[in-house]
Amino acid sequence: MLGKRLREIIGKITKKPYIDEGDVKVMIKEIQKALIAADVDVRLVLDLSKRIEKRALGEQMRALTLKQHVFQIVYEELVKLMGEGYSPRLERHKVLLCGLYGSGKTTTAGKLAHFFKKNGLKPALVAADFDRPAAIEQLRQLATQINCAFYSAASLEEVLEKVKEAREDVVIIDSAGRNALDERLLEELRSIYSKVAPEEVFLVVSGDMGQSAGKQARAISEVVPISAVIVTKMDSSAKGGAALSAVSAANAKIAFIGMGEKIEDLRLYDPKKFVGRLLGIPDIEGLLAKAKEAGLEEVAEEELTAETLLKQLKAAKKMGPLKNILSMMGAVDLPKELVVQGEEKLKGIEAIIQSMTKEERRDVSLLKRQPSRIRRIAKGSGRSEKEVREFIAQFEKMEKLMKRFKKDRGMKRKLEEMFKRWQG
């Protein structure tokens, strides 16, 4: 995996007591190997290497140590390699999706509708892939899941009439795909583009295509003007970085990346955050945004009791799997078994709290005064009495920490400053 290899390379140099020119050159060669192994274009890799070496050994260090200086340059140059960010069009418009079979185009149409709906707009999904009846049915099901409008008909002409009459804010048209770029597909794209006149055209490519993603972007951009590219399957593809860099080299912007199978697994592309995840830099801004979306901020303001802790655990679940949250915190290389243990621990705490009475949830100290309560909760939650006692001890520590945090303004200020440093 590209990210893990890059973190290992950077880790070697940052752990050294001091580094010199030779260390920097060795690091650059290792980065070259990692990027080429991940299918990034050789010319792009060589250009990147030259820029890193020139800057690392030639620039003044801006009040940083040499290790910090080198890390910052590697980060900045990888960001350049991965292209520019994208600002979504949050207004009334039509979107045409195009791409080959297997790219995840139809699923992406649903994810895109969910994104616009989440941002306060009314989306509509339009089926214009008449070669695959299954694609039309899949789009219909996605529209039902998202609770948005859906349009289909027996022919393209009838569908286009419905598009003209549509009153939704964002109309997303799922066009036909092919197994390969051929003249028939390109001619269909020309035809549908001229008839629909969409304000945006998104090309959907799979992250496992590697360098081929750039070739596809170039070919289709000669037929219709591509507004941006959506890269899917970025959750498991080892070639994801290669696909992003290839699309960028083809002078196409990347709008979104697909990070999973769920309807909400579509992220606005931000090269700084993407490279940050590769290098293990905490994404505090993204983490806080997820917490706000999940309603965790409001719950965190309440007085700490077992009841509010249960609410926090339920809200945290909405933020996604523990692995993803830890990744956003910069803890990307934790052993899988530790993450599994952490998830199991959280499930245990939830089960213990759910086995408490309302009175016990309001006042956990009742459990210490009456051991029979501990026995009852252990039996009800399927956990041992030892685990229930461990929860009580952990909860008391949390209570003390929260009280100290509320009283200690200095601690609050230090945390705020730390978050700002991570974000900027």
Q: Are the C-beta atoms of residues 304 and 402 closer than 8 Å to each other?
A: yes
What tokens does 154 get?
A: 């027996």
Domains 93-278 and 284-423 share a fold: no
Q: Is the model more confident about 287 or about 407?
A: 407
Could you tell me the pLDDT band of residue 91, with boundaries at 50, 70 and 90? very high
- Residue 239 DSSP SS3: coil
Q: Taking a C-beta distance cutoff of 8 angstroms, is the pair 189, 223 a contact?
A: yes
- Architecture per CATH, 93-278: 3-Layer(aba) Sandwich (3.40)
Span of 39-48, 299-308, 357-366 with lowest mean pLDDT: 299-308
Question: Once rounded to an integer, what is the mean pLDDT over residues 249-267?
Answer: 86
Quote helix, strand, coil % in the chain, to nearest 5.
60, 10, 30
Whether 146 shows a pLDDT value over 90: the answer reads yes
State the CATH class of domain 2-81: mainly alpha
In the structure, what pLDDT confidence band is assigned to residue 198 with cuts at 50, 70 and 90? very high
- Strand 254-258 with 266-268, pairing: antiparallel
Task: Write down the domain spans for the chain.
Answer: 2-81, 93-278, 284-423
Total-model pTM: 0.68
Lowest mean pLDDT among 23-27, 117-121, 157-161, 226-230: 157-161
Mean pLDDT of the chain, nearest integer: 80
- Measured distance CA(359)–CA(357) in Å, rounded: 5
Judged against a pLDDT cut of 70, whether residue 422 lies above it is answered with no
pLDDT given at position 123: 95
Longest CA span, the chain: 79
More confident site: 184 or 232: 232
Asked whether 100 and 217 are in contact (CB, 8 A), the reply is no
For the segment 262-287, what is each residue's pLDDT rounded down to a tens digit?
898 898 988 888 888 777 665 545 55
pLDDT digits (tens, 9 = 90+) for 277-314: 777 665 545 555 555 655 555 555 567 788 887 777 77
**What pLDDT does 142 receive?**
95
pLDDT band (50, 70, 90) for residue 238: low
Q: What is the mean pLDDT of residues 108-115?
A: 95
Which pLDDT band holds residue 236 (cuts at 50, 70, 90)? low
Q: Mean pLDDT across the stretch 247-259?
A: 85
Amino acid 63: pLDDT: 46
d(CA 100, CA 181): 7
- Per CATH, the number for 284-423 is 1.10.260.30
pLDDT at 424: 46
Phi, psi of 171 (to 5 degrees): -105, 115
